[in-house]
Homo-oligomer: A and B are copies of this chain.
């Protein structure tokens, strides 16, 4: 008789954003007259930039003619895109990444969920607390954690690294030695970030203890300040200890188009085993590539006109972040992030817990945010708002919150 993967049965409730989605749908059904503003899930609202739309139309036309039709994509992704990435995101910053270190995918969510597969089940993972839930959930599914401790609200066998106002949301090196370290800067959910010097400490540490860093740089496009690294490979020695994940979802509004990439440097080796080769094997076996038309759209982001247009879009969301920060400060909230990231992390008022504040905001202001406790126990008493709404809705939401 077949048996299921019992690790799945350890998972706590549903995936955070599925849960929120259901609660909001339920509220809307019971309150059809209320205009609910979504500043919860980090989904963009601005349409794709005109240059991307043009590219998509052209690529669709190519798919309609026998001479230009494209079937299966190359294993690692089309060279035109990997080349644009290697130049646009790396060589332009003085970092040498070759195109066979770049793996095109359908987004960071899949990549971050799948990358752990190439590691042994008995590696010990370290995650920030609060943290993007996919890092931990996918490791639970794989059996890389113990059981869930309901009192501590933590998984046994996992190294947690608290990120709080006390440490400026930059984790300290853990006391217990981990094997795989998940870092995300600019950070989801706190919207805070790390300086290059601070990140160098982590790179040196990883090289010293022979850990691998999984570096989620999904929000890199939102960096405004000079001393914040745009890629972990700006740090010396990162190529021998770090995998970097990037997404086009938040930089170019691709949440519904699906495109991302992962960099696995050839210098990254466990004894004589190349992680690049392992990931290439996984990628070539279990994945069939992002659609051609979407890869062409990705290439456009690196053109002059594409870059200009998506910069305007990012500036639009950054302006929303400013509005949220300013409004919440005026309303007396303690707020963090929002400068180098599209997320604002706020302390809930009156000792409300995160879910109490979620319902309070939903019911009193009809504004949806994300309970901080959904990202881990250190997120309890905090709340995440995103800058991805429209300008009008963002202004409206902040006005409503100020009136509470």
Task: Give the B-binding residues of A (Cβ under 8 A).
Answer: 1-6, 8-9, 11, 14-15, 18, 41, 43-48, 50, 53, 56-57, 60-61, 63-66, 68-73, 75, 106-107, 109-110, 113-114, 117-123, 133-134, 137-138, 141, 179-180, 209-212, 253, 255-258, 270, 273, 275, 278, 281-282, 284-294, 390
Contacts and interface: CB of A to CB of B under 8 A. Distances in A.
Contacts of A141: 117, 282, 285-286
A15 B76 CA distance: 13
A49 to B, nearest CB: 8
A126 to B, nearest CB: 11
Contacts of A285: 15, 113, 133-134, 137-138, 141
Given A63-B53, A113-B285, A69 B4 contact: no
Contact of A256 (B8, B69, B110, B114): B69
B2 A75 contact: no
A8 B3 CA distance: 23
Given A63-B53, A209-B1, A258 B291 contact: yes
Contact of A1 (B60, B210, B273, B390): B210
A53 to B, nearest CB: 4
6 contacts: A1-B179, A4-B270, A50-B64, A53-B60, A71-B255, A257-B293
Contacts of A43: 71-72
Nearest to A274: B4
Given A46-B66, A71-B255, A291-B291, 4 more contacts: A5-B278, A43-B72, A63-B256, A258-B289
A46 B46 CA distance: 35
Give the 8 A-B CB pairs with smallest separation, nearest first.
A113-B286, A2-B179, A1-B210, A3-B120, A43-B71, A53-B64, A71-B255, A47-B69
Contact of A286 (B41, B64, B110): B110
Given A3-B123, A4-B118, A15 B281 contact: yes
Contact of A14 (B1, B134, B284): B284
A111 to B, nearest CB: 10
B61 A53 contact: yes
Nearest to A206: B2
A64 to B, nearest CB: 4
A141 B50 CA distance: 42
Nearest to A108: B288
A256 B291 CA distance: 5
A1 B275 CA distance: 14
A6 B121 CA distance: 10
Given A8-B118, A63-B56, A255-B71, A288 B209 contact: no
A279 B256 CA distance: 21
B255 A6 contact: no
A57 B3 CA distance: 45
B1 A281 contact: no
A215 to B, nearest CB: 14
A12 to B, nearest CB: 11
Contacts of A123: 2-3
